Structure 1
Amino acid sequence: MNHHTVPDDAAAAHPIRVLLADDHPVVREGLSAMLESAPDITVAGQAASGEEAVTLAGRLRPDIVLLDLRMGGMDGVAATGHILRQAPGSKVVIVTTYESDTDILRAVEEGAAGYLLKGSTRAELIDAVRAAARGETVLTPSLAPKLFRSRTVDTPPLSDRETEVLRLVGQGLTNAAIGTKLFIGEATVKTHLLRAYRKLDVTDRTAAVVTALERGLI
């Protein structure tokens, strides 16, 4: 009995459509080959610049845009904002060489779903695309609190439970999974998150995690 057929067929019928944006053809080809090896992912297009990424995102409406932070012309931060206005249903994941790049935070503030390091393995890349497609935050696990520690900001203290919830969001857990883990209702998880958003002056879970990490709160 081959019970794996149905999921694979379903995945092939509705694959996650990805737009790759990088000004190096070799990098694009490498990323494309890694992604196409997954049965539930297809590369819908490739862009060689930020401007081209914005145009193609508007035309193709991909599920995910993997966007190089450093390109000639329009950089990844500016492109993120334009892409999300052109294709509001798309998720942008920033691809960068250095996790200490302060522009990662600017891209997240523009609405990026997170970031991935260029040295990521095939499995990490595929997991990141699937997580972003599920609406989860994508952060390279090695993201250290020291990332932007030099930027000191007065933040009202997070409660222990708010800190706990944000830490689990940073691990990619959904609100339902966090509720199960902490033995609280999903509505309570949302309440803790909304309080944390207000304290951190952010409007979504990705920005909350990145800002909390930046300030050494989690």
Structure 2
Amino acid sequence: MSTPALRVLVVDDHPVVLDGVALALQRTMFVTVAGYARSASEAIEAARQSHPDVVLLDLRLPDMLAPETIRALLAQDPTIKIIIFTAYPDHAALDAALAAGAHGAVVKDIEQADLVDAIRRVAAGERVVYANTGHDGGDILHRKLREHGLTRREYEILRHVAMGQTNPEIATALGLTRNTVKTYLQRTMQKLGAHNRVEALARANQLGIL
């Protein structure tokens, strides 16, 4: 008798990430995608309805901090396993998320085989961390940004663009003027060799930045 496939809920506010992870997991015999969510509130509701074995949770969501999300998920179902999925391996929130009850952490540019292995091991009760905490200066995202000449602020603005926000909305979220956001965005598009927002997002995703 075969073992039932592990049910994974994928939570990320980037559609490209959702699609990429889903494709990777669908190619694996013992893992099935139980659902998707783009925010913490959606994740909590999706977990309530679909009862996943493992939640692959983005460290940074638009509506709730990761530790709060983790506590809410575990309060709802103490048996659920949670893996932080992040492009920020040295972010202070990572330690807080693990302290809040996350069972593992992986970086977003992890190899498919390692991602599947992490899901399998966490589901089996292990604690798995495939994320460099930055103690040896190995910040993966920072290295990628540096390679392409992007600053953290330019990355932040690009991330808000990926969430579908307008320049005024980004300005409000980051405490900047609209002209400053426009200048940052123009500079970012120039560095990425893009002529518009869509091309910039496509290029950033191609480079593994978003």
TM-score, length of structure 1 as denominator length:
0.60
After TM superposition, give the deviation of residue 61 of structure 1 in Å.
1.5
Does the Cα contact within 8 Å between 1:93 and 1:116 map onto a contact in 2? yes
Aligned partner of 1:134 in structure 2 is 124
Q: What is the 5 A alignment of 1:98-117?
A: 98-117=88-107
Alpha-carbon distance in structure 2 between the residues aligned to 1:36 and 1:126:
11
Give the secondary structure class of the aligned counterpart of 1:111: coil
Report if the CA contact (8 A) 1:19-1:66 is conserved.
Answer: yes
Cα offset for 1:141? 6.3
Mapping 1:11-160, distance limit 5 Å: 11=3, 14-140=4-130, 142-143=132-133, 145=135
The aligned residue for residue 151 of structure 2 is none
Seen in structure 2, the aligned counterparts of structure 1 residues 144 and 23 have a Cα distance that, compared at 3 Å, is closer
Report Cα offsets for 1:160-189 as digits up to 9, x if no partner.
Answer: xxxxxxxxxxxxxxxxxxxxxxxxxxxxxx
Runs of 4+ off more than 4 Å: 141-147
AA aligned to 2:55 is: V
Q: Partner amino acid for 2:75?
A: R
* Structure-2 separation of matches of 1:144 and 1:68: 18
Q: What does the per-residue CA deviation read over 1:21-72, in whole Å, with 9 as the maximum and x for residues that have no partner? A: 0011111010011011110000000001011101111222110000001111
Once the two structures are TM-superposed, the CA of residue 75 in structure 1 deviates from its matched residue by 2.6
Percent identity, aligned pairs only?
Answer: 36
Q: Is there any run of 5+ residues in structure 2 with no aligned partner, and where?
A: 138-210
Q: Is the 8 A contact 1:61 1:89 kept in 2?
A: no
CA-based RMSD: 1.6
The 1-side partners of 2:93 and 2:54 are apart by 20
Contact 1:81 1:110 in 2 (8 A): yes
Offset of 1:106 from its aligned partner? 0.7
Letter in 2 for 1:10: S
Cα distance in 1, alignment partners of residues 131 and 15 from structure 2: 27
Structure 2 residue aligned with 1:10: 2
Shift of 1:145: 4.7
The code of the aligned residue for 1:62 comes to P
Counterpart of 1:157 in structure 2 is none
TM-score (structure 2 length as normaliser): 0.62
> Which secondary structure state, in structure 2, belongs to the residue aligned with residue 139 of structure 1?
strand
Match of 2:8, SS state, is strand
Deviation at 1:131, TM superposition (A): 0.7
Q: Which residues of structure 1 form unaligned runs of 5+?
A: 1-8, 148-218
